[in-house]
Amino acid sequence: MIILLLNRILIAIILIVLLIITIKIVRFVKFKAAFQKQSGLKARFSKKASGIILGKNGFRLVCSPETNEGMTAVFGGSGSGKTSALLIPTLRAWQGTAFVIDISGDIEKAVPNPSKIVFAPENTDTTPYNAFAMVDMAIDDEEKQETGTPPSVGGIMTAPPAPV
Predicted TM-score of the model (pTM): 0.49
9-21 burial: b if 16+ Cβ within 10 Å, else e: eeeeeeeeeeeee
Q: What is the pLDDT along the chain (164 residues), one digit of tens a residue?
A: 788 888 888 999 999 999 999 988 888 777 676 666 656 777 777 777 777 888 887 788 888 877 776 777 888 888 888 888 888 888 888 877 788 888 788 888 898 877 777 777 777 777 777 777 777 777 777 777 776 555 554 444 444 555 55
Please, how many CA atoms are within 13 Å of residue 61, restricted to the half-sphere of its CB?
19
Domain boundary assignment for the chain: 1-39, 40-67+78-113, 117-150
Q: Are 87 and 50 in contact (CB under 8 A)?
A: no
Q: What counts of helices (H) and strands (E) characterise the chain?
A: 5, 5
| Res 28: pLDDT | 78
